[in-house]
Structure 1
């Protein structure tokens, strides 16, 4: 069809839809790259919007290609994309639109092979020009209108499917701004009835539950009004802690029921509310009703008591609450990435809902935020703010003069002498609550109390009490300027803190504080929304509209696990010996029976599953193990760490050159890899950022929870992150086969292998563990499963062992069906812990020293202290450097996955299939060890074939692509 052909009754230029969708993908890649290189927040937001709209329009491709009027909308999309082209060859009006967009894609592909970001930025400057801020907004607005038009023409079924696919991209509904008014009315009502005639006298305090207070998270029953606001509270008169729920009634009109008269008569009569004159009276009465909570409501500025109901908070009132300040002092042992992000959202909502109310005192902070234990000693992620119910003084709200109610009229201007005013007192922020929020976001991000951050980044001699508004603001600015380089600029933590501390954001044109409604709307758009959007993008399973209930299901004291229910009465304590705990041999007694450990001993142990997965007893000479660090201090030097990062970067340059960026494998099957290890920390930021690569999970240790693969020792998380570093486009399947440094029985491992082969149908299995002997119980089952995988052309990689010259390779690495992986440094020199090469065998090795990988946050041992470690970036990246054949194994498996991916993209189908053969993959890996001329006689180093990939000319992938393909073709015949 020519460019002038009439389509759909109109004489329009025809454009190939596939070209347009391809150019949208190109623009999406360009926007994602530009966003990572920008320092300007507004530009970051623009490129984020551009990325999202390109993705959403591309998601409509199947409908546009088959729906009515497709040419019209495709042509308009094409013309809109062309409006930002600047390159003269792309602007040639004689060239049809489809060709111009195709040229845009090919131009980007040419520069995309460059590893220098500056070169890419410079090249993009010659291709595209989005203009000034107004033009950028117009470009996004047109894309939005096109996307709305396409979506609105969907059938109901297609719309439902699309809504499900794009759910993570949609924003949660904007919250109600009535919470602030309701919270203040409750404070006023409590204040009005705080006086009492008790003997001895007491002081009334309240702890207000914090949260998003979204309607779906509201603490109400189905038959209660939706337009009222419900607050959870803990009241105290100095003696008792009384749970309560208070409802702020917003309805002001009488509503008549029009139901059937008979049904009205049959309803259970409800007791009338009782007006509360002194709050201590119902609280005293509730002492005899320990399992109940007070039900209160505020109507017409008065407090009323309703009929009490059973309390469902399950609080242990005998234990003291834990402040956020205390939890911050515990650092990484308490917080996970998920709890940090959830807590940040809840704290931002706290300021949104309670700003300009008496619930936020002038010097509030992490010491005012409390968490309460349950009967099972869990600490749900359910924060309360503690505040005494007291009159703040005339004309004062939140410690500031209320300019709207004329409170300042109570102050005599003659009391002030202009000469006595310190100019530094005017270094103020119009919204001190936002300064506090910025401080708390920094505390949560670094998991360190603010006074420690001040001593580190600000004034070493500063007093711990910096309650003055001016001093707190100055401290916050100084600390943020010093440590913001440790917070990624594309993080919404960075953006939210920066906005909170910028006073101009919260002022009108006259430099005065914004009015309440405008301020609330701006707090939501500038602080709350970015934080909750980032949370939903990182954890799509977390419901933002129901975040309060979700957060309360998390046990803050147990590293992000679910809150446990109250246990049944315990059985007699189980006695475990050191042998049953499988501790290292050096910790056991040399003579006599193993000592008995009481359950109260300072050892952590796990219940042994009552199935075939039970860990068999092993002696020292047959016990299996995971091959991680042997002598950590000998390998984790700064020089070795730098060398590893450089070596990995050289490999990644090869990967980026030959594997298309973000290959979605629409036409090619992805490479599938199974990891048999100790599980995975799914909340780790390095894993969460690449969660799409994790396709399946299987827990061999607990058949009742087959999807629960939480990593308790870190080994599996580390191995998985390393595999993803070297095979980022692979689909990873995680099989949890260990909960300690001792794997389970060989029969359980055999079951995991069979599952990976027959159910997941993987291409590669990696195993970073081994047995020193094949005489272990049920090893024959493991051997049979390996043969089954081999017969299905599944590539098996296993760690050779860390025993150096004392022992040979471990099992299963010693099996002929498995590729054993030895360890070297980045120069190919044999690691001292790597076993001796086997004569007349192919001894493959790759880097296994100072390998960097993700480590679960709760297992890191560098909790912040009054003298924090000098490298904050170490804390914020949650990674470690470790050495062992355990970590050379996922690297070599990742290289094998790269080779399979390369073959599927660049070679024939027959050659790609042949590469799955154990023998041919070994031959290709061995060829990668050859450097320079002279053939295979020069390829061994220290008895190993050192597998190394780079763009150096001596390396295979540093040569011409035709030579690479011909070489691989010869090896795969």
Structure 2
């Protein structure tokens, strides 16, 4: 029986929005086709979310499969709606049919709720359900499930389910026929995703063949063996190609392992020559290579006419590789994993590798045993490794190109003949295109983040011959099937990967080899296009026509960050994978994070940081109350003045005295999203950062890249306000917080191993009733017992929410936010009655921001607001007091100040301006200045006496 047909307990539904507030895509005008498409686009996503909730909570396997199929069709139809919206043509009726299908499964009871819609409106039940659904997004899973059980009815029989799926299948097929992919991706500004789905020129393939023949004809020489000559070809989409009869190829040629950059233009027919061309026919390739390697840095300028190689005048500007370092292969990057490939770099590589098959199948540019060890990356003289892949090839005499994909023998390249009598029957596999099998292996390696050999060992396959990169089809398929459950369902990446393995796509209906053009079309449709589409959907700023130039501006040696070389192209400066949804008191947002993209690691190798994020949706960082552009110049100026007051106090009491002091430094641990260690502000003080630990991905425990900026901003604040402290960084979040148990372990490590004095936590949980929070409480009690001070951000809910956990904990100092005048920030929680409510400046805070999250021309700092940023400033004040006690008061008072009660007492006293003064907004406002009204503006005897009295 379907879940939706059972007795459904009533769910309390929130009141509807006011009539004047409507969803952006909903148009209550009957017959408006544009609105219908927008509604279909929006609803396909909404219904997919609903089906996912039902599937997660379903125990009957048949129903789980039914919901899974619903999710898949919603994804496909959403894609069609996006394309039809951009086509400005026919096809709107298909959207009406789709909406009618889902209108029929919405219970009529939904209209019994108070509604701003009437029956004269198109799809009133859908629109009403959509509105109600959006109002419960912040509620728990149980509430959502009860809601769906009440208002969705798919029928009670499997035949009804199959009937619905069959109708959706027919509808999706009609959409595909009426609007093929290649016709619909237009460059309209308001259409997403921004794709360009025209295939790159077929002439690239024939040009590559001509180049291989030209190189082969002049490869032999008397002074060097053929093995001394190496050839690599840059992998590219070639979307920005020259006219159909001309193509440019970028290569590296080597003579005795000395690499030389070369540019080759392929010209069909004869070209009109001028005196400036002065071409010279190349008879032996070693001659121009020897000559240019002894000259100043240049690249070899070549062209091919009628399969003959000609040398033109060399050019001065080159790629400037570091010739002292050998190129690194993709396999080495996957094996070493330091730094790891990010999700974005993996997806870009997947597209470029798929284009290699599209352009070079059946040619000598794809070696017989093509694998990730043949894909090379070159170091530059400035120590980067640009995402600019080259394929290592063997150009031999007699090289030619096949007209089709070749033979049926698994494991053999298309243009190689094989005697089937010499093959073991188990190795004979009917797959027409071995280059696609090799591509599938590399796509699997990229997704899993490890070489195929390691994957095979994980699944008890005997280790392959270390000297043989080839992988048999049967072995590859077996490993793929074992890894398939770890590959995210309903993704285009998985779809493309499965298509590579499917032999039926690469033969005609009679089992014969496809002709070259049909094969190429199928490769694009079934493999390249899905990878392109998923890349552009994940990163809307990426254009396929600009992908080649964009990719080379990313540094594989630095987590895919944009290369800051002066020669880097402007479009190289792009944002990283991860975006943080802000908590803005003027915003529409009610949650903190967008749904996370995969981080490119499998469940087995991702460590304890992988968890079901929906169980922890109450976890938040308290930042971004205003975006950087919304802070006024006056606010920023006032904050800088506030900070200068602090620095003046620090200089007077700490900096001058530290020069003659031999006391050990204060230690602070920052639990956050990591840090951009290459940021100049961070690098300038890198000696302060004594240790780091990655709790999100234990496979890379020593690497703490920051993918959302929060941790870099907080760390920059700590370094600013505690310039003499030792800093320890625990990465406990990427796109989402690690679970509570992991955070507890981070606290334990800070206390037991790092032996810190202070822990700063700019995050919180709205409830303790989550798995693992008991572990956090135990860790906090241990820290308290060892006199480790803990500071935590209050929250950003204003009067709507109280403090969060762990800020509510009696053993933690809760930090609220004020402006630079001490007025309570709008987002800071109301003061708690009969409690100490510590607060300090938390608005327009200037600090470091990661390179990869900055756009072109941006300075690498941001102004942020939130209790997230008041917390490290308060930690800086606490560090100042500990340093003051160590320098001026002696060990006894220092020991008392290290205790929670002692620090609390001194901070409270410091916040009082005079005996008769009241706390502003009931906050104990913390600020340091040399003004006479401030404690540290008094004479030194008064300061010492006041602190000693507070500690006594």
SS in 2 for 1:377: coil
| CA apart distance, 1:480 | 0.9
Determine whether 1:893 maps to 2:869.
no
Match of 2:431 in 1: 429
Matches within 5 A, 1:481-520: 481-520=481-520
| Structure 1 residues 885 and 341, CA gap change in structure 2 (3 angstroms) | farther
Matches within 5 A, 1:445-524: 445-460=447-462, 462-464=464-466, 472-524=472-524
Q: Is the 8 A contact 1:369 1:383 kept in 2?
A: yes
Matches within 5 A, 1:748-827: 826=772
CA distance in 2, matches of 1:23, 1:435: 37
Q: Is the 8 A contact 1:193 1:277 kept in 2?
A: yes
Q: Is the 8 A contact 1:737 1:748 kept in 2?
A: no
Matches within 5 A, 1:128-139: 129=164, 131-132=166-167, 135-137=170-172
Deviations 1:538-578 (A, max 9, x none): 222333212122221222222223335499xxxxxxxxxxx
CA distance in 2, matches of 1:812, 1:351: 51
Deviations 1:600-633 (A, max 9, x none): xxxxxxxxxxxxxxxxxxxxxxxxxxxxxxxxxx
Instruction: Choose which of 218, 225, 237 in structure 2 pairs with 1:212.
Output: 237
Instruction: Choose which of 834, 850, 866 in structure 1 pairs with 2:780.
Output: 834
CA distance in 1, matches of 2:391, 2:773: 57
Q: If the length of structure 1 is used for normalisation, what is the TM-score?
A: 0.53
Determine whether 1:444 maps to 2:451.
no
Deviations 1:387-423 (A, max 9, x none): 23213689979995599xxx99999xxx9897x7643
| Structure 1 residues 898 and 378, CA gap change in structure 2 (3 angstroms) | farther
Matches within 5 A, 1:235-314: 235-238=253-256, 240-250=258-268, 269-314=275-320
| CA apart distance, 1:386 | 1.6
| CA apart distance, 1:26 | 3.6
CA distance in 2, matches of 1:491, 1:296: 42
Deviations 1:64-118 (A, max 9, x none): 9xxxxxxx999996576336644597799xx986457222344567788433899
Match of 1:918 in 2: 830
SS in 1 for 2:831: helix
CA distance in 1, matches of 2:680, 2:721: 11
CA distance in 1, matches of 2:781, 2:420: 83
Q: Is the 8 A contact 1:455 1:461 kept in 2?
A: yes
Match of 1:322 in 2: 328
| CA apart distance, 1:333 | 2.7
SS in 2 for 1:170: coil
SS in 1 for 2:319: coil
Q: Is the 8 A contact 1:713 1:740 kept in 2?
A: no
Higher RCO (Cα < 8 Å, 6 or more apart) = 1
| CA apart distance, 1:199 | 6.4
CA distance in 2, matches of 1:531, 1:74: 27
| Structure 1 residues 342 and 205, CA gap change in structure 2 (3 angstroms) | same
Q: Is the 8 A contact 2:553 2:562 kept in 1?
A: yes
CA distance in 1, matches of 2:485, 2:554: 31
| Structure 1 residues 466 and 896, CA gap change in structure 2 (3 angstroms) | farther
Instruction: Choose which of 42, 50, 56 in structure 2 pairs with 1:25.
Output: 42
Matches within 5 A, 1:27-426: 27-34=44-51, 46-52=73-79, 81-82=99-100, 85-87=103-105, 98=120, 101-106=123-128, 113-115=143-145, 123-124=153-154, 129=164, 131-132=166-167, 135-137=170-172, 140=175, 163-198=188-223, 203-215=228-240, 227-238=245-256, 240-250=258-268, 269-331=275-337, 333-391=339-397, 400=406, 422-426=424-428
CA distance in 2, matches of 1:58, 1:408: 41
CA distance in 2, matches of 1:811, 1:678: 7
SS in 1 for 2:472: helix
Q: Is the 8 A contact 2:277 2:313 kept in 1?
A: yes
| CA apart distance, 1:432 | 0.6
Matches within 5 A, 1:689-768: 701=681, 734=710, 736-739=712-715, 743-745=719-721
| Structure 1 residues 437 and 362, CA gap change in structure 2 (3 angstroms) | same
Match of 2:12 in 1: none
Q: Is the 8 A contact 2:334 2:451 kept in 1?
A: yes
Q: Is the 8 A contact 1:677 1:715 kept in 2?
A: no
Deviations 1:202-237 (A, max 9, x none): 64331111121221xx5xxxxx86751111111223
Q: Number of residues paired by the alignment?
A: 638
SS in 1 for 2:189: helix
CA distance in 1, matches of 2:756, 2:221: 81
Q: If the length of structure 2 is used for normalisation, what is the TM-score?
A: 0.54
| Structure 1 residues 423 and 717, CA gap change in structure 2 (3 angstroms) | closer
| CA apart distance, 1:360 | 0.8
Q: Is the 8 A contact 1:32 1:47 kept in 2?
A: no
CA distance in 2, matches of 1:28, 1:359: 42
Q: Is the 8 A contact 1:359 1:398 kept in 2?
A: no
CA distance in 1, matches of 2:609, 2:337: 30
Q: Is the 8 A contact 2:507 2:513 kept in 1?
A: yes
Match of 1:952 in 2: none
Deviations 1:730-756 (A, max 9, x none): xx994844558954217999xxxxxxx
State the superposition RMSD in angstroms: 6.3
Q: Which runs of 5+ in 2 are unaligned?
A: 1-28, 56-63, 111-116, 137-142, 568-603, 621-629, 631-638, 640-668, 685-690, 698-707, 726-739, 741-746, 804-824, 838-899, 902-952
| Structure 1 residues 88 and 313, CA gap change in structure 2 (3 angstroms) | closer
Q: Is the 8 A contact 1:296 1:305 kept in 2?
A: yes
CA distance in 1, matches of 2:462, 2:542: 40
SS in 2 for 1:296: strand
CA distance in 2, matches of 1:121, 1:520: 47
Q: Is the 8 A contact 2:252 2:261 kept in 1?
A: yes
CA distance in 2, matches of 1:459, 1:450: 11
SS in 1 for 2:780: coil
| CA apart distance, 1:491 | 3.4
| CA apart distance, 1:246 | 0.9
CA distance in 2, matches of 1:743, 1:341: 35
SS in 2 for 1:333: coil
Matches within 5 A, 1:482-881: 482-563=482-563, 565=565, 701=681, 734=710, 736-739=712-715, 743-745=719-721, 826=772, 831-834=777-780
| CA apart distance, 1:528 | 1.5
CA distance in 2, matches of 1:270, 1:742: 61
Q: Is the 8 A contact 1:189 1:302 kept in 2?
A: yes
